[in-house]
Structure 1
Amino acid sequence: MSLYLGVEDFERLVVDELDRLPDDMVAGLDNVVFVVEDRPEDGSLDLLGLYDGWALTERDRYGVGELPDRIIVYREPHLAACGDMDELRDEVHTTLVHEIAHFYGIDDERLHELGWA
């Protein structure tokens, strides 16, 4: 890995980047939790984050008492992709925006057009 950051420090960095996001971006998040995991289930370093849940545009199928949707940020892929702390902060920021966009129903194609993928 190019960069090392322990679990607690990485979680703190994710929280810091969440706090830096615009209020109107995070205010609408309903029943969503943010989780840091070391790697995706397949063990790869290719995936930086994942939105696991129902997009806001599909919430008509969403029932009462549903478990929270999850936005997962993968620590080891971020560390492998980044050479320094500034790059890591930028990449975590981009990952958070990308996964939050999926909550709002924005797909990868549109995120590419907007420069967030």
Structure 2
Amino acid sequence: MRHGTPPTTEEILDMAETALGAIPAALRRMVQGIAILVEEVPDDETVREMGLESPWELTGLYRGVPLTEKTGADVPMMPDTVLLYREPILLEWIETGVDLFRLVRNVLIHEIGHHFGLSDAEIERLESED
């Protein structure tokens, strides 16, 4: 996708929703109810919580309880959420030259992988699949 100006948060969200719609139906049903939000950058509290030096290091974040840790007795306080951070995604896009849709898709898949309790190696394998 080519843009004369940087994509807006709404355009990044549209890409994420398109990517989510393209995952297998069985997986899509399992992530039903997960909120996808796009913010400009992680807030200061998130940067501290993650032990980062800079907000530019974080392109996405899963907030919630992984499926592998949920029990029937759990009372959800908030919906599981995938946060995508627009400016760090755009910075990585510029630095790597990776197709922006593919980058958004990979960040989304990575964060959904955390929802399923997958290891980083398993997530990397999923990200590399077309």
TM range (shorter): 0.7 to 0.9
- For 1:54 and 1:75, locate their aligned partners in 2 and report how far apart those are by CA, in whole Å: 24
Q: Kindly tell me: are residues 110 and 17 of structure 1, through their superposed partners in 2, closer, same or farther at Cα, counting changes over 3 Å?
A: closer
Give 2:120's aligned residue.
108
Aligned counterpart, 1:27: 29
- TM, length-normalised to structure 1: 0.81
1:59 matched to 2:90? The reply is: no
Q: C-alpha separation between the residues in 2 aligned to 1:44 and 1:91?
A: 18
Cα pair distance change 1:91/1:12, threshold 3 Å: same
Q: CA deviation at 1:107?
A: 2.4
The worse-fitting range, judged by mean Cα deviation, of 17-26 and 77-86 is 77-86
Work out whether residues 15 and 105 of structure 2, in 8 Å CA contact, stay in contact via their aligned partners in 1.
no
Q: 1:27 to 1:81 in 2, by over 3 A?
A: same
Q: What is the CA distance between 1:79 and its match in structure 2?
A: 0.7
Structure 1 residue identity aligned to 2:62: Y
1:89–1:18 Cα change, 3 Å: same
Alignment of 1:1-117 (within 5 A): 4-41=6-43, 42=47, 44-60=55-71, 63-83=74-94, 87-112=99-124, 114=125, 116=127
Q: Structure 2: where are the runs of 5+ without partners?
A: 48-53
Q: CA RMSD in A?
A: 2.6
Counterparts of 1:7 and 1:61 in 2: how far apart (Å)?
Answer: 35
Q: Which residue does the alignment assign to 2:50?
A: none
| Equivalences, count | 114
Aligned CA distance change for structure 1 residues 64 and 47 (closer, same or farther; 3 Å): same
In 1: Cα distance, 2:7 partner to 2:25 partner: 27
Structure 1: give runs of 5+ residues left out of the alignment.
none
